Amino acid sequence: MCGIIGYVGDKDAVPVIIDGLKKLEYRGYDSAGIAVYGKNGFDIVKQKGRLVVLEERLSSLMRENKPLSGHLGIGHTRWATHGEPSDINSHPHTGSKNRIAVVHNGIIENYKQIKERLENRGVTFVSQTDSEVIAQLAEHYYSGDIIDTVIKVSNALEGSYALGVMCIDEPDLLVAIKKDNPLIIGKSNHGNFIASDVPAVLKHTNQVYYLNDREVAVLHEKDIQFFNTDREPLQKKAETITWSMDSAEKDGYPHFMLKEIMEQPKVLRDTIQSAVTDGENRKVLDNIDIIRFDKIMITACGSAYNAGVVAKYVFEKLCRISVEVELASEFRYKDAVINEKTLVILVSQSGETADTIAAMREAKSKSAPTLAIVNVVGSAIAKEADYCIFTAAGPEIAVATTKAFSAQLILLYILAIRFARRLGKIQPEEEQKQIEEIKSLPDKVSEILDRIGSIQMYASTCIGYKSIFFIGRNIDYAIALEGSLKLKEISYIHSEAYAGGELKHGTISLVEENTLVVALSNYYYLYNKIMSNAEQVISRGAKVLLIGNCPKVDQESGKFYHIVLPQVSEIFSPSLSVIALQLFSYYVAANKGLDIDKPRNLAKSVTVE
């Protein structure tokens, strides 16, 4: 939930690190800090607040003729877990003797025991964080060899960590290690990097190594060495990142979220291409023998879970196979009834979500084969799952997912169609017809994006609502879940999604004047039902926003507003509904003037439980 970066090279580390932190700020943004190896040892500045507060502090130091500068440094942007956001709890942390400085992403589960042990030996702690124990323990162990020290510290830690470590006796050396949290190593012609994610280094290099758990990276300006924890050298191959810096820039849009919404036609085309022609995804799909399974279990968190709920309807309809969808945070502890005949599908943009990783390991421990749908190459889930297919969304920076969600849906559809064919539930002609329809989706998404102005205008009238409910039936209900999540996470308006038929079993008592109900309607045979739900809430004072390709309603009364979507088969309609829902949420939040890309209390990758 935090972002870390480190640099050793011939450039001044300060601007390099600050620039990298900007690309990592999506991971956490309640405080930030930097340490460089300066003329007189470590110089550290850390501040509560957004990165911009740290930048202001660095500028004022410059004005006071006390600029921070050095060729070796580490930086951190934080999402607080242990200890409130404050200057003192911000990273980097040092040991009491100021000999070792550390940035940490993760959670140290045994920090209390370590802290107590060190306190009994006279060490004084200054912060409330779990991370400080790493620096203090490192100083406790240190006797001249920082690499051995990092290995010893790693052996003593329980929990998850990606660490960047500097030592006062090593002005040219950066050491890194990780367990259960991501860390990449970047190799450039002016120096070397560690970082939580590729965008942080992409301006300098497209050559990265993905560090595996408990591998140690030792970086100098001109070389990088890797070791295992027995200090045996490891040979690792650098991978070339094929996407460019543009993906990590706003490109003239006011927010990453809007940019990412607008990118969806291309993302869908690329994802479809990789799965239906001869791309890597296609090869993986061809290798999965669906016939051996009698059940599918989909597990994920947040929006990825919502994609799973949509998929359940699609799989059951096309494949006539039983599908369960479980929140990963529940699945991991519920002793699920799964075995080698269950295909467990994990969906995750980041591939690093702690609960989804745990769910995957739980599935494996019960011999259930795992198939992951992931966006981030080299992520933990991508590496550990038995099969992995990738969404071609490129880096997604906004905390609220849009393009990765749409790409997940597409892969789930294609998976369902391929499985249905393999199971003999559809004939080759039907399979081809469905694939052709999938291929038509990007253009239909573009059609909706071309009408952005009308959604923007309508959304601007909705900022005063205290509560907004989302309803739908069948697959429209599944996508209503995503509409509601999107709205609440970025606009801070209370919102819930319900199956249309469920409203009258309790929730309708919350409907009054100044309530908006968003009704999804893409099912002709359920049209009358959802419309009678709409009438029920209107007669209790609510306004209704209708989204779907059902017959156009009379908007004269002012009680309805209809965003009409292009025609598409019902099972694929979520791919179109979600575009309207994303734009609606985005413009409600934008009209409220909120920090859309970094909503309060959230972070992009939830790598803690």
- Applying CB under 6 A, the span of 10-18, 350-358, 456-464, 472-480 interacting with ligand M6R comes to 350-358
Give the shortest CB-481-to-ligand M6R separation in angstroms: 11
Active site residue 604: yes
For residues 310 and 400, which CB has a smaller minimum distance to ligand M6R in the complex?
Answer: 400
Residue 94 found at the interface with ligand M6R (CB under 6 A): no
Round to whole Å and give the CA distance between 228 and 372. Answer: 27
For residues 80 and 407, which CB has a smaller minimum distance to ligand M6R in the complex?
Answer: 407
Round to whole Å and give the CA distance between 380 and 374. Answer: 10
Rule CB under 6 A: choose which of 489, 573, 587, 590 binds ligand M6R: 489
Lay out the sheet containing 191-195: strands in order across. Answer: 41-48, 31-38, 72-78, 3-9, 191-195, 184-187, 207-210, 239-240
Helix (H, G, I), strand (E, B) or coil at 581: helix
Residue 348 found at the interface with ligand M6R (CB under 6 A): yes
Residue 115 near residue 133 (C-beta atoms within 8 A)? yes
For residues 89 and 303, which CB has a smaller minimum distance to ligand M6R in the complex?
Answer: 303
Give the shortest CB-229-to-ligand M6R separation in angstroms: 28
Residue 349 found at the interface with ligand M6R (CB under 6 A): yes
Residue 131 found at the interface with ligand M6R (CB under 6 A): no
Round to whole Å and give the CA distance between 48 and 37. Answer: 22
Kind and range of the H or E run holding 491: helix 475-491
In this structure, how many other beta carbons lie within 10 angstroms of the beta carbon of residue 150?
Answer: 27
**CA torsion, ordered 396, 397, 402, 407, to nearest 10 deg:** 0
Residue 186 near residue 208 (C-beta atoms within 8 A)? yes
Give the shortest CB-23-to-ligand M6R separation in angstroms: 17
* Burial status of residue 221 (CB atoms within 10 A of its CB: 0-12, 13-18, 19 or more): middle
Kind and range of the H or E run holding 60: helix 51-63
Question: Assign residue 343 a region: left if phi > 0, alpha if psi is -120 to 50, beta otherwise?
Answer: beta
Integer angstrom CA distances of residue 574 from 209, 301, 311, 481, 571: 37, 18, 10, 11, 7
Question: Binding to ligand M6R (CB under 6 A): which residues in 578-607?
Answer: 605-606
Give the shortest CB-323-to-ligand M6R separation in angstroms: 19
- Applying CB under 6 A, the span of 187-195, 396-404, 496-504, 529-537 interacting with ligand M6R comes to 396-404
Rule CB under 6 A: choose which of 248, 325, 400, 542 binds ligand M6R: 400
Helix (H, G, I), strand (E, B) or coil at 469: strand
The DSSP string of 71-95 is SEEEEEEE--SSS-S-TTTSSPEE-
Residue 190, phi then psi, degrees to nearest 5: -120, 0
CA 424 to chain centre: 36
138 contacts: CB under 8 Å, gap ≥ 6: 95, 100, 102, 149, 150, 153, 165
Q: State the Cα angle at 178 between 174 and 181, rounded to 5°.
A: 125
Question: Binding to ligand M6R (CB under 6 A): which residues in 288-307?
Answer: 301-304
For residues 33 and 574, which CB has a smaller minimum distance to ligand M6R in the complex?
Answer: 574
Active site residue 592: no
* DSSP 8-state class, residue 214: T
Give the shortest CB-67-to-ligand M6R separation in angstroms: 37
Give the shortest CB-33-to-ligand M6R separation in angstroms: 25
Catalytic: which of 2, 301, 319, 550?
2
Give the shortest CB-605-to-ligand M6R separation in angstroms: 6
Residues 449-478 vs ligand M6R: string with x where CB under 6 A?
------------------------------
Residue 603 near residue 26 (C-beta atoms within 8 A)? yes
Q: Where are the alpha helices (DSSP H) in 320-462?
A: 328-331, 354-365, 380-384, 403-422, 428-450, 452-460
Round to whole Å and give the CA distance between 557 and 394. Answer: 44
Tokens of 312: 């359940």
- Applying CB under 6 A, the span of 108-116, 117-125, 398-406, 413-421 interacting with ligand M6R comes to 398-406
Question: Binding to ligand M6R (CB under 6 A): which residues in 426-445?
Answer: none
Rule CB under 6 A: choose which of 401, 495, 515, 533 binds ligand M6R: 401
Give the shortest CB-212-to-ligand M6R separation in angstroms: 20
Residue 300 near residue 408 (C-beta atoms within 8 A)? no
Give the shortest CB-135-to-ligand M6R separation in angstroms: 29
Give me the residue whose beta carbon is nearest to ligand M6R: 302
Residue 138 found at the interface with ligand M6R (CB under 6 A): no
- Applying CB under 6 A, the span of 48-56, 74-82, 203-211, 345-353 interacting with ligand M6R comes to 345-353
Residue 399 found at the interface with ligand M6R (CB under 6 A): yes
Give the shortest CB-586-to-ligand M6R separation in angstroms: 12
Residue 75 found at the interface with ligand M6R (CB under 6 A): no
Round to whole Å and give the CA distance between 121 and 149. Answer: 18
Rule CB under 6 A: choose which of 350, 391, 573, 575 binds ligand M6R: 350
Tokens 């060490």 -> residue:
123
Rounded to the nearest 5 percent, the helix, strand and coil shares of the chain are: 40, 25, 35
Catalytic: which of 152, 187, 312, 604?
604
Residue 346 near residue 385 (C-beta atoms within 8 A)? yes
For residues 44 and 590, which CB has a smaller minimum distance to ligand M6R in the complex?
Answer: 590
Give the shortest CB-423-to-ligand M6R separation in angstroms: 28
For residues 480 and 526, which CB has a smaller minimum distance to ligand M6R in the complex?
Answer: 480
Residue 353 found at the interface with ligand M6R (CB under 6 A): yes
Helix (H, G, I), strand (E, B) or coil at 352: coil
Count of residues of this chain found to bind ligand M6R when the rule CB under 6 A is applied: 16
Residue 518 found at the interface with ligand M6R (CB under 6 A): no
The residues annotated as belonging to the active site are: 2, 604
Q: Given the rule CB under 6 A, which residues bind ligand M6R?
A: 301-304, 348-350, 353, 356, 399-401, 485, 489, 605-606
